[in-house]
Amino acid sequence: MERKHGAYTMIPFTEEEHAKYKKVYSDERQFVRIGPSGYVLPTGWLAHSEDVRTMPLRPDDVFVASYPRSGTTWTQELVWLIANDMNFEKAKSIPLTDRYPFLEEFIFLPSLRWLIGNDLEKLKNIEETMRPAPEVLASTPSPRFIKSHLPMSLLPEGTLDTARVVYVARDPRDVAVSCYHFYKSLKKYAMRATFKEFHELFINDLETWAPFFEHVKEAWHQRNHPNMLFLFYEELSKDLGSAARRVADFLGKQYTDEQYARLLDHLKFDNFQKNTAVNLSEYKKLGIMEEYGNFIRKGKAGGWRDNYDEEMIRRTEQWMADNLRDMDLRFQCNWEFNVEK
């Protein structure tokens, strides 16, 4: 039954929806759908949703927003370096999580408390690490850099009227594969499903931050706003140099060819994958992630083909066609982009 929570409408997951979730994950989270599009968020969102909505903004705030596993981390590093005069030494010495408070990270606290149990020292460390971002950002000096997987409609009110947003989107088939492998590495989720089982949750809008297409469409519809820069992950993969120059233009920065060359080397996938400042190594120390593997995985555009059988391909193509009908938004791995400035 729909009801109000602060400024938002809210519908709790049904028993059937929770049962489908439990087939994939063994954690104890409960979920609600927020707003007209029914964005899926854990009930932990309700604790600070109003703090996020009413968070005071500053004209030099920069948000990097996306649906999860769409190239967020790569884009964050790119944006931060261009905004901060290519300060590679500082970028390597300060974890990306410290440079970019995660706006809604607090939604994970209930499941992490359950995971940690009676380890009071580790619990204290995690609660300090995951303080609500509006609280952290209140004392953060300008310019502030903010990460979020929230759709545009759930970001602080008036975000585009005051701050700048770089939104990155990725082919949902690659997003699904990347999400699956990342969630498997997170102890708090205790995922026990095959990719095919996970994929059912994904295309049926039962994953956190879903529905995927509504999320991307909200940003796409605002792509021509002067404070919005809409990027495709595939665009970054194809020609990172051109994408970097678009970001620099957006942020009012100019650099030499030599500086861009160093930037591209820093962001080259092999180097980026080994960069401990962006690989959530602190999550492993806190016991949130498994010790094996990296947060930065393969970074391959079009790699979904290695994970989908024929039935999944057909169903996913139909799902994409249904959601993109009457729109000029397209996810293409053949590098033909319809990007409007």
Report the catalytic residues.
149
Beta bridge partners of 230: 167
- Dig out the tokens for 237 from the structure: 């993969």
Q: Which residue has 């997003």 as its token pair? A: 175
The CA angle 245-246-248, to the nearest 5 degrees, is 60
Terminal C-alpha separation, the chain: 41
Q: Are 41 and 34 in contact (CB under 8 A)?
A: yes
| Number of neighbours of residue 139 by Cβ within 10 angstroms | 6
